[in-house]
Chains A and B, each alone.
Chain A
Amino acid sequence: MEFQLTEAQRALQEAARKYAREVVRPKAAHYDETATFPRDLLSTAWELGLLNMAIPAEYGGVGLSHLEQVIVAEELSWGCAGVATSIIANDLANLPIILHGTEEQKKRLLGHFSERLKFSSFCLTEPEAGSDVASMQTTAVRDGDHYVLNGAKCFITNGGQAEQYTVFATMDKAKKHKGITCFVVEGRPKGLTASKHENKMGQRASETVSLTFEDVRVPVANRIGEEGQGFAVAMATLDNSRPLTAMFSVGIARAALEYSMEYASQRKTFGKPIIEHQAIQFMIADMAMNTHAARMLTYESAWLLDEGKRNTLQSSYAKCFAADMAMKVATDAVQVYGGYGYIKDYPVEKLMRDAKLIQVYEGTSQVQRLVIARELFK
């Protein structure tokens, strides 16, 4: 076992930390307040290669290992979880192509992302199909050398900015998850419309929209995997992305911990800094301990992927533990700040709002427990 990062991993961490500290942090409150799209921050992120971490080098990406990706993800989320979510959205949308695309598809559909700033969206969730993916209502019907897509998707990150969409649709509702197929829609074809940006509680810098597909035509060449393989493609994608969302929680928790330590050293009650009160010390000790535990679980789940091993159980451990942990740590940070913590001029209430989303997206904490139990009794 090796419990230290390599020199290159530390360099990646340092690069991401610098971006988070100098580029993201100064504008995080602004984008949270206005809920506008942080194009300038994402443009710098693209220049640094952060939008294409998962794309292998032979297709123009950075080709980071999963462990390296989560190391970077912690820093991004430490800067702002909303910005981090918008950054990772590209890799999430591209993962089905990376994992299941043909050589020709990888070259054609991934190459552009390193040539210019271009957004891509992962379109799985529907109003009636979140955790229950098999209830998908969006349909795909074969018509010559095309498929015709009809339906609605919701909670789509960067959906209004994207120029490529990885869409899951069913070819036969009766077949449940065996009817689902994965497609890549290029550009913004006729019939594809995006709603306005949702007014979210947290991670407000990350754009979230609903999409409507009305007779959207996709060439057969853009089908990822075989007909009916879409569910497997989606699950493999989520096995890959769960460590990243787990690490977003760690980034939020570390920010909450640091802010709490700083504030507790300055704020005085009963004649001494509150850090000298044991009640505060114990809260901060719990915050630090749980943040680190979540980081270790996440490293392990990413390392398993790099070893080519199945990580379903460990990635659910990591995602579930880390998300619940970040919610608790951020809530405690607000508690350490007392009344000021509840006020938007201070940075910790944002962390609490941002953390909540991680218990919900990419598999709720309840679904993660379901997966864990299922894996344990296998």
Chain B
Amino acid sequence: MKILVTAKRVEDPESKIKVKPDGSGIVQEGLKYKINPFDEIGVEEGLRLVAKHQGEVVVVSIGGKEVQEQLRHALAMGAHRAVWVNHTGPLDQLAIAGLLQKVVEKEKPDLVILGKQSIDDDQNQVGQYLAEFLGWGQATFASKVESLESEQEKNKVPALVVGADGKTVRVIREVDNGLATLECQLPAIVTTDLRLNQPRYASLPGIMKAKSKPIEELTPAKLGVDVTPAIQVLKMSAPPARKAGIKVADVPALVEKLHNEAKVV
């Protein structure tokens, strides 16, 4: 089975993110980058499925030369090869879904796994657009009840199970009031939620092997996609700084404030 997974390059949440004074974007100097954690979960899930069903995991990223770092990370985890869509400049979600559609049509995977959203702009749209563009079934927010770290949880049924005939996939999804189980015809789109799995560490031999794994270069022009953004970011601003709290004298004063000021009780 062939699985296509995405690997977006995002700002490392441990870096200090500052908005530029003119609001045109964030200060990029000194920032560290990593693979979008939801995508990393997708890579892990792809590798687990392929370990069970044979096949290959192909990882795709869109961006300038620097996104090769994230592709290599996925390759170091064990992905077999990579596709790099070389493009610098702003891209909106429609353009990204359009590019991925062409990559999917070229690669013809049985399953596409994407992060449910990327942690930089938290849009949560690309997976759904891609399913629409392709006319495929989609199962978003694939998840599990608990962290996979517990022994108990490891032994439980995985959230993504490919049917015995290899034509369907059963996905456990996180929804507002619990879990929903979906069955989808393959090929399908799955997006990952946080509790789906605990991604493996890239091993040292994995990193060394990743150096020689192939990265195929494509461009929007080669794929025939117009990526002119339909959406423009006009201004960015930092959230207002949190004000210091106050101390109340006693419980009645607290209740009074909760009732009259915060209006929560």
Closest to A18 in B: B201
Please encode chain B, from 71 to 107, with 1 for each CB lying within 8 Å of some chain A CB and 0 for all others: 0110010000000000000000000000000000000
Per-residue interface assignment for chain B, residues 199 to 233, with 1 indicating a CB less than 8 Å from any chain A CB and 0 otherwise:
00111111110110000000000000000000000
Bound: A47/B203 CA distance, A = 7
Decide yes or no: A62 and B208 within 8 Å by CB, A7-B72, A11-B73 being known contacts.
yes
Which of A48-56, A192-200, A231-239 faces chain B?
A48-56
The reply to whether A8 and B211 contact each other, CB–CB distance below 8 Å, is yes
C-alpha spacing A53/B205, complex, angstroms:
9
Q: How far does the alpha carbon of A332 sit from the alpha carbon of B171 in the complex, in Å?
A: 55
Chain B residue nearest to A57 in the complex (CB): B208
Within 8 A of B (CB), among A3-31: 7-8, 10-12, 14-15, 18-19
Taking the complex as formed, is B6 at the interface, i.e. its CB lies under 8 A from any CB of chain A? no
Among B76, B206, B207, the one with the most A-chain Cβ atoms within 10 Å of its Cβ is: B207
Selected contact of A64 from candidates B34, B73, B204, CB within 8 Å: B204
Q: How many residues of B contact A (CB 8 A)?
A: 16
Whether B204 lies near A48 (C-beta < 8 A) is yes
Is A111 an interface residue when CB atoms closer than 8 A count as contact? no
Nearest A residue to B202, CB-CB? A15
A216 to B: closest C-beta gap in Å? 34
Which chain A residues lie closer than 8 Å to B76 at the CB level?
11, 15
* B205 adjacent to A62 (CB under 8 Å): yes
In angstroms, how far is the closest chain B Cβ from the Cβ of A23?
Answer: 8
Contact partner, B72, options A11, A18, A49, Cβ 8 Å: A11
A48 to B206, CA, bound (A): 8
Contact partners of B132 in chain A: CB under 8 A: none
Distance between Cα atoms of A11 and B70 in the complex (Å): 10
Write the nearest CB–CB distance from B212 to chain A, whole angstroms.
11
In the bound complex, do residue B201 and residue A48 qualify as a contact, i.e. CB atoms below 8 Å apart?
yes
A63 at interface, CB cutoff 8 A? yes
Q: How far is the CA of A70 from the CA of B210 in the complex (A)?
A: 20
| A15 to B208 Cα, complex, angstroms | 12
Q: Are A12 and B68 in contact (CB under 8 A)?
A: no
Could you tell me if B205 and A11 are in contact, using CB atoms closer than 8 angstroms? no
> B205 contacts A49, CB within 8 Å?
yes
Q: Is the beta-carbon distance between B69 and A49 smaller than 8 angstroms?
A: no
In the bound complex, residues from chain B placing their C-beta under 8 Å from that of A64 are 204, 208
Tell me, rounded to whole Å, the shortest Cβ–Cβ distance linking B14 to chain A: 10
With both beta carbons as reference points, the residue of chain B lying nearest to A11 in the complex is identified as B207
Indicate if the CB atoms of A53 and B201 lie closer than 8 Å. no
Contacts of B206 in A (CB 8 A): 49
A266 vs B181: C-alpha distance in the bound complex, in angstroms? 48
**Closest chain B residue to A46 by CB distance?**
B203
Chain A residues with CB under 8 A of B210: 8, 11
Q: Known contacts A8-B211, A11-B76; is A62 also within 8 Å of B204 by CB? A: yes
Contact, CB under 8 Å: A15 / B204 = yes
Chain B, 33-46, contact with A by CB distance < 8 Å: what is the 0/1 string?
01000000000000
Show 10 A/B contacts (Cβ-Cβ < 8 Å), sorted by A.
A7-B68, A8-B207, A8-B211, A11-B76, A11-B210, A14-B34, A15-B76, A48-B201, A50-B204, A72-B204
Chain A residues in the interface with B (C-beta under 8 A) = 7-8, 10-12, 14-15, 18-19, 47-50, 53, 57, 62-64, 72
